[in-house]
Structure 1
Amino acid sequence: MKKTWVRALLVGVVALVVLVALAAALGVWLAQRKMERRVELPVQPVTYRSDAGAIERGKYLYASRGCAECHGSSGTGRIFLDEDNGLRIAGPNITNGPGGSVTAYQPVDWVRTIRHGVNPQGRALMIMPSEDYNRFTDDDLAAVVAYVRSLPPAAGKGAMVELPLPVRVLYGFGLIKDAAARIDHSLPPEMPVPEGATAAHGRYVANMCLGCHGEGLAGGRIPGAPPDWPPAANLTPGEGSAMGRYPDADAMIAMFRSGKRPDGSPIAVMPFASLREMSETDLRALYLHLKALPPRPHG
């Protein structure tokens, strides 16, 4: 009887291992198919600009909206994720120097890449926070492009995306999405809003928070984040909201500048190298918008 029980257990374990291996192989195959798919989009180009005003605005957006976090302050690219589990991701060189990934870009390619998370060949970009940039006004998108095109040419490398097996399997089964799959491509560009410390301008600024905090800014698991990252905070008012720590805009601005909560504890994950570059006007507007949101449960 005992031998029969042990034999049955071994058969069950072997069968489970085989099923897991088959599921992993299927996930990897599906992931490869997703990476190779073509994303067809009707994309309208923005007009190239080279005036000082556009370049200055683009420089501010590049510094404060996370571009430098992935591509480096000089645009030559940088490794921004290097985990012990084999997850390594680097943003590419976006100057016109050796190894630059945008040297052949046409006006439509900038829009396709930044706003839609799709490269000029029609392939989905695996890592690109286009859901944050999808809402840029045409003027702001043109300003970012103007600034990037003004960067001095310098040597750098292309993008690097090394995904460990579990991540590839999860991507294959749709539990992790690439940049193009996270976007409603039918949304038109935002219309310009007068810049000022108003909730209306704050709503526009808050588009930069969507990638981590979600469409309703209620937080939760960050899509595609490493498993050891904490969930994004709930930014809507109410019980359990992170906004309860910030009784006024000054308190929130201090957090953006320091990377620490009012009690002095550091905040993990948030890209403070970029966030601390945000203007006081943008931050005061953002605070007003967040305080006016309807309460939502976390996640």
Structure 2
Amino acid sequence: MTEKNKTARWLRRGVLALLALALLAAAALSGAVLMAHHKMERRVDVDVKPVALRPRGDTAALERGRYLYASRGCVDCHGADGGGRLFIDAPNGLRVAGPQIAPGAANATAAYRPEDWVRAIRHGVDPAGRPLMIMPSEDYNRFTDEDLAALVAHIRALPPVQGTPAMVEMPLPVRALYGFGLIQDAAARIDHRLPPALPVAEGVSVAHGAYVANMCLGCHGPQLAGGKVPGGPPDWPAASRLAPGKDSALARYPDAESMIRLFRSGLRPDGTPVRVMPFESLRQISDTDMRALYLFLRQLPPPRKG
């Protein structure tokens, strides 16, 4: 066999190998997209107990609900008026909008029963049992019954608006990562067996700080060790480690006042801005909640390895 024939044969083999790899990649991508569809349509069986809704004249519940809505991230996804908001519009085609939840024609919660509010807020599951794709329910899973009822009271009392429905547009690579389980929805990350949290006296205490810290779990992880934000666009930076130890962001904040300045300004002590964190909501957190949170973070043990 001449050298020319040998070269031609190796070229044919190389082309066939590349074609085989391309076919395998296409099959894998197709399979991942199919798995993603099945995951989005799956039923999540959650045993929920309805929380008694507050009467519209309960001013204390309405005020507490207003504070929670403003300070716990609801504004960032649903808008201050509850009319819905586009909050991810990434160059790769990932677009996500929270739905209207205030009264009005596009209200996604208009037919919610008391148990549906519990299912959605605590468990990230819609009334039909399907996962709410971007709802960060791991942050709200530990809400007390009182706080959950107060939040719902505020939402139901919002003025009617002309809003927009939910939107989740995932490009093929993101859909594939979701299908393969490398990105999970909140319903897959929550321990649905946990009972509701018991009320804790509001004050500058470790116990109250631990309750406030539940709002950090969705981005910073169950041990507050930081890392890639689950479900976030590829260009988002990793969430900082909040637990003490090597490389902890807490080292930049020697006292509660320095952390309060971060929450109010969105700037680190050196003046550089922090990306991604929902400062529109964080600016609304009370000094009491922030001082309690700082106290809790300072006494945390370093995250477990593994």
Does TM, scored on the shorter chain, surpass 0.5?
A: yes
Partner of residue 265, structure 1? 272
Counterpart among 4, 7, 10 of residue 2 in structure 1: 7
Say yes or no: does 1:31 pair with 2:42.
no
Counterpart among 114, 136, 139 of residue 129 in structure 1: 136
Question: Could you tell me how far 1:139 is from its partner in structure 2?
Answer: 0.3
Partner of residue 223, structure 2? 216
Say yes or no: does 1:42 pair with 2:50.
no
8 A contact 1:217–1:235 mirrored in 2: yes
Aligned equivalents of 2:109, 2:95: Cα separation in 1 = 22
8 A contact 1:233–1:298 mirrored in 2: no
Instruction: Count matched residues.
Output: 299
Say yes or no: does 1:95 pair with 2:102.
yes
Name the SS for the 1:81 alignment partner. strand
Question: Could you tell me how far 1:298 is from its partner in structure 2?
Answer: 9.1
Say yes or no: does 1:177 pair with 2:184.
yes
Partner of residue 116, structure 1? 123
After superposition, give the CA deviation of every residue in 1:103-126 in whole Å (9 maximum; x if it has no partner): 111111100000000001111111
After superposition, give the CA deviation of every residue in 1:19-45 in whole Å (9 maximum; x if it has no partner): 110000000111111111111211001
Q: Which one is further off, 219-228 or 66-75?
A: 219-228
Counterpart among 52, 61, 71 of residue 78 in structure 2: 71
Aligned equivalents of 1:80, 1:145: Cα separation in 2 = 22
> TM-score, length-normalised on structure 2?
0.96
8 A contact 1:234–1:298 mirrored in 2: no
- The amino acid across from 2:209 in the alignment is G
Counterpart among 4, 14, 19 of residue 19 in structure 2: 14
Partner of residue 245, structure 1? 252
Name the SS for the 2:168 alignment partner. strand
- The amino acid across from 2:273 in the alignment is P
Percent identical pairs in the alignment equals 63
Aligned equivalents of 1:122, 1:236: Cα separation in 2 = 34
Say yes or no: does 1:80 pair with 2:87.
yes
Shift >3 Å, 4+ stretches? none
Name the SS for the 2:234 alignment partner. coil
8 A contact 1:219–1:298 mirrored in 2: no
Partner of residue 210, structure 2? 203
Question: Could you tell me how far 1:297 is from its partner in structure 2?
Answer: 7.1
8 A contact 1:117–1:130 mirrored in 2: yes
Q: Which one is further off, 218-227 or 20-29?
A: 218-227
Partner of residue 55, structure 1? 62
Aligned equivalents of 2:304, 2:198: Cα separation in 1 = 29
- The amino acid across from 1:241 in the alignment is S
Aligned equivalents of 2:121, 2:36: Cα separation in 1 = 23
After superposition, give the CA deviation of every residue in 1:126-147 in whole Å (9 maximum; x if it has no partner): 1100000000000000000000
Flag the structure with larger Rg.
Answer: 2
- The amino acid across from 1:228 in the alignment is D
- The amino acid across from 1:94 in the alignment is I
Aligned equivalents of 2:304, 2:261: Cα separation in 1 = 26
Question: Could you tell me how far 1:12 is from its partner in structure 2?
Answer: 1.1
- The amino acid across from 1:27 in the alignment is A
Aligned equivalents of 2:197, 2:113: Cα separation in 1 = 22
After superposition, give the CA deviation of every residue in 1:29-72 in whole Å (9 maximum; x if it has no partner): 11111111111211001111030000000000000000000000
Partner of residue 112, structure 2? 105
Partner of residue 166, structure 1? 173
Structure 1 residues 252 and 291: alpha-carbon distance in aligned structure 2, compared to 1, 3 A threshold:
same
Counterpart among 121, 140, 152 of residue 145 in structure 1: 152
Name the SS for the 1:98 alignment partner. coil
